[in-house]
Structure 1
Amino acid sequence: MRIIITYGTFDLIHIGHLNLLERLANMGDKLVVGVSTDDFNLSKGKQCLYSFEERARIVGALQCVDIVIPESSWEQKEQDIQTYHADIFGMGDDWVGKFDHLAPACKIVYLPRTPTISTTELKRSLAKIDPVAIQKIKKGLDGVLDIVKALE
């Protein structure tokens, strides 16, 4: 049995995440995914929109994912490779070279990212949305909802 392991935050999960996970899953028989905990993300200076529990549940619901584990530190990867008997450690190519030190434990692969999507870009776009405009849209939708209820 060939086991693949990978890690990520998976906040605002998108098609790029799915593409990476599916490609990794196709390299073996079982895919183990480490999802970064909230505390670990805070130590990296990351603030997530969704909790660890929610992100882990979403990732675990994907058909290509077999096991979800919490990622609570950079250092745990070598132990996880041993614990899960991983044959391949895979990450997106934005991490090239960062995990080469794990090569004695298993094969390291860096896969190309989906060029049309990025969580960072999604967050930047969301940050540009005007809160006043959002409230106007919400009021408009509330008005439509009131009309629909009145017609029932």
Structure 2
Amino acid sequence: MIIGYTTGVYDMFHIGHLNLLKRAKEKCDYLIVGVSTDECCESYKHKRPVIPYEQRAAIVAAIKFVDEVVPQENMNKLAFLKQRHFDVMFHGDEWKGTELYNHYEEEFLKFGARIEYFSHTDGISSSLLRTIINK
């Protein structure tokens, strides 16, 4: 059984989010999705999500591709792997080749896990939606 893991804020849920979850589920048997808490989001994005954590988690949990939702309370992916084993983490390819994710790739191997990168859905993002709404 292949256990997959991915994370996100999933604010203003859109087709890009759905595409990511669908693609991830196609590559694993059991998909765990970490939804960033409001506090976690504020700590690294310096803004509060439009939709509160409890509602975002409920939306993600209702998606048929998702087997389990967990709160993402910090951005340390290695700490989560140590706490809860998974075989593959799915992530946006904008991080591929960065110092942080090269380090994660090396450390994950020690736990028998790997990272698979996906490209984003063109033309849609929560940031873009936020910009349109604020016009």
Cα deviation, 1:101-139, whole Å, max 9, x if unaligned, reads: 2223221111011112111111100000xxxxxxxxxxx
Return the letter of the residue paired with 1:84. Answer: R
Aligned to 2:48, the other structure's residue is in SS state coil
TM-score by length of 2: 0.88
Structure 2, unaligned stretches of length 5 or more? none
Identity of aligned residues (%): 38
1:24 aligned partner: 24
1:109 aligned partner: 116
Which one has more relative contact order, counting CA pairs under 8 Å at least 6 apart? 2
Q: CA deviation at 1:59?
A: 0.4
2:68 aligned partner: 67
Matched positions, count? 127
Structure 1, unaligned stretches of length 5 or more? 129-152
- The answer to whether the Cα contact below 8 Å between 1:5 and 1:33 also exists between their aligned partners in 2 is yes
- The answer to whether the Cα contact below 8 Å between 1:4 and 1:30 also exists between their aligned partners in 2 is yes
Query: Once superposed, which parts of structure 1, at least 4 consecutive aligned residues long, lie more than 4 Å away?
Result: none
Whether 1:99 aligns to 2:106 is no
How many Å separate the matches in 2 of 1:100 and 1:67?
Answer: 27
CA RMSD of aligned residues (A): 1.3
How many Å separate the matches in 2 of 1:7 and 1:100?
Answer: 18
1:9 aligned partner: 9
1:58 aligned partner: 59
Aligned to 1:99, the other structure's residue is in SS state helix
* Higher Cα radius of gyration: 1
